[in-house]
Amino acid sequence: MPELPEVEITKRGVDLHFTGQRLLACTVRQPRLRWPVPVEVQSCVKHILQGVERRSKYMLMDFGAQVLVVHLGMSGSLKIVNASTPWDKHDHIEWNFGDKVLRYNDPRRFGSVEYVEKVPGWEHSFIRFAKLGPEPFSEAFTPDSFFKATRGKKVSIKALLLSGFAVVGVGNIYACEALFRSAIRPGKAAGRLSKANVQALHAAVVAVLTEAIERGGSTLRNFQAIDGELGHFQLHCDVYGREGQPCKRCGATVKRRVMNQRSTFYCAQCQE
């Protein structure tokens, strides 16, 4: 699943290539995604793309009076192609900006494209954003706020990271890496972490996500940037995907266990 770094890479690509351009046409070949694609997406035609933002794992395409909220789901991606390029089997939506077009490809169709009228404060009333925690690079995400979010929580710290309640955008691979860097066992109850633990994890979350963006995200299956470039953060992981290999820190064997139906990689010696 594309996580925050992958969505950020996608957002930057769309912003670079299409912001300031007028949308000439929008073609929806497959309207049945996670939720039906609303017919209102056509109202963006003839409007100029004002900018592209990101909230958690959502990409926001701002057309002035309207915003398209795009989620890549489990297997979605956006790609830039020539207008004459034939459609691929799993290409479902096309935004035509002239010589270049933007296409949404999603083999599993768990992604979504939603339409929102851009009225003041719409971000606070939009249902998908209602339970989202703070952005990891924002002033709202501090060691103190993070520590407060862990208090009284009986769930594992890894589960809390993945929930998006304490901080958004930390997917499985990034949770494993941040917990390793901060020497915290993934299954430890969030409420049992000390303030020093949480401070270390806060720094690790920010560092891991920053590095992932710098490395183009992670291509574990089919993620690619809009220009076709693959991510390579996964090639530099300390524990993720390294079951049975020696820990880079202490030499002990990296272990894997399934937590909440997700593979979790850790070093039992380094992480307490």
pLDDT of residue 225: 87
Please name the residue ranges forming H helices in 88-194.
122-125, 143-150, 157-163, 172-181
Cβ-based neighbours of 169, under 8 Å, separated by 6 or more: 3, 4, 5, 7, 56, 57, 135, 136, 209
pLDDT of residue 221: 73
The answer as to CATH 3.20.190.10 being correct for domain 4-129 is yes
Q: Which residues are catalytic, by number?
A: 2-3, 57, 262
The predicted model scores a pTM of: 0.94
CA distances to 150, 238, 240 from 218, in Å? 27, 14, 11
CA distances to 23, 82, 139, 226 from 98, in Å? 8, 9, 39, 16
| Ranges for all domains in the chain classified under CATH 3.20.190.10 | 4-129
Number of H helices, E strands in the chain: 6, 10
Taking every pair of Cα atoms in the chain, the longest distance, rounded to a whole number of angstroms, is 59
| Ranges for all domains in the chain classified under CATH 1.10.8.50 | 143-267
Structure tokens that stand for 14 in this block: 């769309």
> Would you say 62 and 49 are in contact if contact means Cβ atoms under 8 Å apart?
yes
SS3 181: helix
Topology annotation, domain 143-267: Helicase, Ruva Protein; domain 3 (1.10.8)
Tens-level pLDDT at each residue, the chain (272 residues) = 799 999 999 999 999 999 999 999 999 999 999 999 999 999 999 999 999 999 999 999 999 999 999 999 999 999 999 999 999 999 999 999 998 999 999 999 999 999 999 999 999 899 999 999 999 999 999 999 999 999 999 999 999 999 999 999 999 999 999 999 999 999 999 999 999 999 999 999 999 999 999 999 998 777 888 888 889 899 999 999 999 999 999 999 999 999 988 999 999 999 98
CA distances to 114, 153, 166, 199 from 196, in Å? 41, 17, 17, 5
pLDDT of residue 219: 84
pLDDT of residue 34: 94
Cβ-based neighbours of 89, under 8 Å, separated by 6 or more: none
